[in-house]
Amino acid sequence: MPAKKQITKDMILQAALKLLKRSGMEAVTIKTLAAELNCSTQPVYLSFESMDALREELILLAIEEFKETIRSQSRDGEVRLYDMEYIYFARREPKLFCFLFMRARAFSEMKQILLPVIEKSVQELMELYHISHEKADYLHDHLWMHTHGIASMIATDFCDWDMDKVKYMLEECRSAFTKGYEV
């Protein structure tokens, strides 16, 4: 009977997430993972055929972390890409936020995972403002784009705005974007 793996795939992914949150994706290498796990590089090579394969699974883990964080801090347990929780996440986890939302092809890699979140928000906007799916989708994208811009500036230390100011700006933006839809 073969020996039981001492370093599991899950342990490697958790170590990768920890490194990612601390130092960014560029710090996640076979050697840094081995050092983080206090082992040789062999367990990493045995668990993942390539760094691309590890990154694909890390994306899934990172998205789940993002959604769970947003859910736990949301007033109603929902994930919306245009609420203050999105910005708070960018502030608390800037490296993770940048990995998820500010790298080349990020959305295309995560689209299938984010679509249910987006669609739920679109449905909510349809019901709230009595608008078509097309208009709600457009409104969602406007709100997300504005929120993402603020979150990106905070995550990259482009600006260090007071969060009360950010909340006010976000409320003003939402009011401006939804003015034509209010009943």
What's the rounded mean pLDDT across residues 43-49?
Answer: 93
83 has pLDDT over 70: yes
- The number of angstroms, rounded, from the C-alpha of 61 to the middle of its chain's C-alpha atoms is 10
Read off the pLDDT band of 171 (50, 70, 90): very high
* 119 band by pLDDT with thresholds 50, 70 and 90: very high
Band (159; pLDDT cuts 50, 70, 90): confident
Confidence category of residue 111, pLDDT binned at 50, 70, 90: confident
pLDDT (0 to 100) of residue 106: 86
pLDDT of residue 182: 73
Give the model's pLDDT for residue 112: 87
Query: Which has the closest alpha carbon to 150: 83, 104, 100, 69?
Result: 83
pTM above 0.95, yes or no: no
More confident position, 181 or 8: 8
Average pLDDT over residues 161-171: 94
Classify the C-alpha dihedral 115-121-124-128 as positive or negative. negative
